[in-house]
Structure 1
Amino acid sequence: MTAEQFNSSDYLPQGFYPWPDLINPHVEQMGRDMDSWIDNDYTFLTEKQREIYKKMRLHRCTARMWPDLTYEQAIPCNRFMLQYVALDDQAEHLSLEEIQQLRTRCTDILRGAEPAPEENALYHHMAMIRDEFHAFMPDLWMERFIYYFYQSFRYGIELEFPYKIAHRPPSLNLFKTIREYSVLMRPYLILGEIESGLILPQHIFEHIVVQKMISHMTLVVAWQNDIHSLPKEMAKGTEVFNLIFVLQQEYNLSLEDACAEALRIHNEELKNLMDLHKEYREFGEYQEYIDKFVYYAGVGLQGVNTFYLETNRYKHGGVGFAWPEDHSANKSL
């Protein structure tokens, strides 16, 4: 199988997961909002990059993942979708020290610091996201969101760095550990608590079964992402943090066999999530909270898969991706 013959929908078609495939009724307005932010606020990007981000239609990922949000609730979620994706993309060529500074500054802003006038939209929108979430979510949830944002950078993006610089992947075992965080999905998953209106108490959220289910959910999206993004990453030629590439190295597999094994690993992750949720029913008065949490997270898993099939972001040849254009431009981050 050649790269041109690969079609991710052969592995993960629309409707693959056991949850409804839905879309938020405010999707069109969400799209107008995001285009306005890109045009008017994200001016640190080049005109070409801004056009590419608009063509990705990232607002549809927000709308697919959280179809039951009100429009007011959707605004910070949609804002975070663009902010987080652009943050990750445009940090691609930064040094480790610069990435650490980026993580520290964004975390500080989420905790209450104000961005300076000369700082770009990534920082100003982070402050807006903070204030918009604070308007309707309790402090407990905000701390959870901030911690998951921090985790994804500290133990995902930063731990990937030396392998990306060396252009070699780690072992499969270590890769799986890092990939759970570098897929950047953890802060997105808990947005489902906004939809349900049921905020997990901390002692329930910290329960080992809940944390294990979150781990499974996150890895389902990681393997989903690695399958759908393969055409873009093959075009880059230097990407190493993809399950399919790691499997090829670890077991000396052909592309076709590595894709089949990646799907098997994905399906096993999904089954482990479903089995764990079905078997452990010991949350007492909070069982409804857990069931809603898993349901809304599941709708999110279904929704992001549908988005991958719709977006230009992962097109063959990498033509739909907003590659960082030069390192000096990224200094503005």
Structure 2
Amino acid sequence: MQYIMKPEEYNSGDYLPLNYYPWPNLVNPHIEQMGKDMDTWIDNDYTFLTEIQKIRYKKMRLHACTACMWPHLTYDQVIPCNRFMLQYVVLDDQIEHSSPQEIEHLRMRCTAILRGEQPTPQENALYRHMALLRDEFKAFMPGIWMERFIDYFYITIRYGIELEHPYKVANRPPSLALFKVLREYNVLMLPYLTFGEIESGLILPEHIIEHPVVKRMITLLVRIIAWQNDIHSLPKELAKGTEIFNLVLVLQQEYQLSLEDASAEALRIHNEDLAELLALHKEYREFGEYQAHVDQFLYYSGIGIQGVNTFYLQETERYKHGGTGFAWPDAASKNSLI
């Protein structure tokens, strides 16, 4: 008789254990102060959250994700990165039941604020903190970097969150082929990749960003983090019962696989993308004077991949079995969100 894994027996560390990746596993020395900062923002600024949601966001230790992903940032550099970590995670979590019109408004308003508009006194912390981190980034980053950060923020909402909405409403996953395209955007990682350029101090010029090899490497970086997230977040999503944007669940649906077989296949896809990323970087060395920029971009992005894996395994309660560590959207607070 064939053994069938039960959902409560699933352990993401069996697939992606600590130090799985070929990059250093480090932590920012300012992690303790970063935690104090984030708890203060949650308590004093994120007033639209319920008390239960506030407690759960604190237990998620999202500042530790920032600290593990970008260990070389100075304290002044890490403040807006940490601020954005909380802002973007809360945004993504709490608009789960928002309408397409509400999500579009949030996208347009946040983008306008990033481009220079000021939030109104009536707008909540999602908008006010966007203005704060904009000014903090502009104090030490050039305009070309800021434009890329804004563009990546815009497209992850426009082609990530917004395009997944019809599937969530219908409670029907897309095909695996389409899912792989959409997941690159709705994992929301593109803006975070630019933080590696802060660490290195080497800003990729536009003609390098648009190079097909670099574009492919960026796609692979984002997909690796997406598959990593799907493997580690599965215990929470199995509890919800209505989650459809997870590689393991899509594989189960498309190929009628068991949980164990689908998890193994998800890891195979993850490893295939990781191998392609490393192979491309090793083989293509034709960036001339910008080769060091590309090397450093991949190095610091790799530390980010290693760091977020450590965060999942050691730092957070966000993805606990049964969904007990997640700050589920609350209907009572929805009206004050957008």
TM range (shorter): over 0.9
TM-score for both structures, normalised by structure 2: 0.97
Amino acid at match of 2:317: N
Amino acid at match of 1:42: Y
Partner of 2:288: 284
Alignment partners' CA distance in 1, 2:104 and 2:6: 38
Alignment partners' CA distance in 1, 2:331 and 2:95: 11
For residue 170 of structure 1, give the secondary structure of its aligned residue in structure 2. Answer: coil
Partner of 2:78: 74
Deviation at 1:332, TM superposition (A): 2.9
Partner of 1:296: 300
Alignment partners' CA distance in 2, 1:91 and 1:318: 17
Deviation at 1:330, TM superposition (A): 4.3
2:205 counterpart of 1:210 = no
Amino acid at match of 2:318: R
Partner of 1:316: 321
User: Is the deviation greater in 318-327 or in 152-161?
Assistant: 318-327
Partner of 1:27: 31
Alignment partners' CA distance in 2, 1:331 and 1:61: 27
Residue in structure 2 matching 1:132, options 130, 133, 136: 136
Partner of 1:271: 275
Amino acid at match of 2:330: E
Deviation at 1:208, TM superposition (A): 1.0
Distance 1:173 1:330, change over 3 A: farther
Residue in structure 2 matching 1:9, options 13, 25, 29: 13
Query: Do the aligned partners of 1:19 and 1:295 also contact (CA within 8 Å) in 2?
Result: yes
Alignment partners' CA distance in 2, 1:330 and 1:258: 38
Alignment partners' CA distance in 2, 1:328 and 1:96: 18
Amino acid at match of 2:115: R
Alignment partners' CA distance in 1, 2:333 and 2:306: 38
Residue in structure 2 matching 1:194, options 198, 222, 234: 198
* Deviation by residue 1:277-316 (Cα, 9 ceiling, x = unmatched): 1111000011000000000000000000110112100000
Partner of 1:18: 22
Alignment partners' CA distance in 2, 1:246 and 1:166: 15
Partner of 1:229: 233
Alignment partners' CA distance in 2, 1:137 and 1:85: 23
2:42 counterpart of 1:38 = yes
Amino acid at match of 2:160: G
2:92 counterpart of 1:92 = no
Q: Which runs of 5+ in 2 are unaligned?
A: none
Partner of 2:60: 56
2:316 counterpart of 1:329 = no
Alignment partners' CA distance in 1, 2:259 and 2:319: 18
Partner of 1:154: 158
Alignment partners' CA distance in 2, 1:116 and 1:78: 23
* Deviation by residue 1:21-62 (Cα, 9 ceiling, x = unmatched): 000000000000000000111111011100100000000000
Partner of 2:147: 143
